[in-house]
Amino acid sequence: MILYKNPGAVPKRPIKTVSITAAEKPERPSYAFRSNKERKKYINMVKSYVRASQEYKDYINFLKTHVNMNRCIVFNKLEPGPGKKYSIEIHHDPFSLFEIINIVVSKRQALGETLNPYMVAEEVMELHYDGKVGLINLSVTAHELCESGKIFIPLQWIYQRYDLFYQEYEPYIDDVTKSKLEIKIEMSRRCDQIQSDVLDPEFVYVNIDGYKFPEIPEEWGKLLQINDPETVLGNN
């Protein structure tokens, strides 16, 4: 059945044009921190991304498997093994993970780089893999003592070149964090070995289960606590 006199011709259909104004795409958050509380919340978010990443888990596993960071550097007589409730945690020092992220954020702000939290987390992980983040292997108990400011770990015991991180990011490190590092350097200078029997007038050596290590002097401990970036940022 032929509908048109010329089967090879394509009939022209009327064209109707409708003008539509497309809505703009939603903008990604710019992370312009309106308060220290917002900055702290953002940094802790990035911190959780870093710790939850497969790259971080692989890195920690590598340290414990190939770099002999599978036993506590403080309680070094404790032997990990099957059936023993003994775990090793990796502590960031002399810059905490919070401080490292805070410094990276300051650098990105100064250079006008994106503050996409995944990009910041990626840069922090690159610093780990480049060997620019100071780390130390501690048992849960030793880690808690260190975090609470009860004991001090000399910088000589830190693994990796944290000094390279300082050299690269020094323009973006605030005076508070720099003063904290200076205190740690001075304390490390006065304490060559963590289990030294030589009494230094600046330190009281604590004996726990046969292990001796320097307790942080009260006045220095207060300075370190004041210089804690999470405390400095506060909730404002």
Other Cβ atoms within 10 Å of 96 Cβ, number: 19
Burial of 97 (C-beta count, 10 Å sphere; 0-12/13-18/19+): buried
What are 14-50's pLDDT values in tens digits? 777 767 666 666 655 667 788 999 999 999 999 999 9
Whether the per-residue pLDDT at 193 is higher than 60: the answer is: no
Place of tokens 């009281």: 204
pLDDT computed for residue 194 by the predictor:
44
pTM for the complete prediction? 0.74
The residues that bridge with 201 in the sheet, in sequence order, are: none
CA distances from 170 to 67, 117, 132, 227 (A): 28, 22, 13, 17
Q: Residue 87 is which amino acid?
A: S
Nearest-angstrom CA–CA distance, 43 and 100:
10
What are 92-149's pLDDT values in tens digits? 999 999 999 999 999 999 999 999 999 999 999 999 999 999 999 998 888 888 887 7
Domain ranges of the chain: 36-233
Give percent above pLDDT 70 in the chain. Answer: 67
Nearest-angstrom CA–CA distance, 168 and 172:
9
As a dihedral over the C-alpha atoms of residue 125, residue 127, residue 130, residue 134, rounded to 10 degrees, the angle is -110
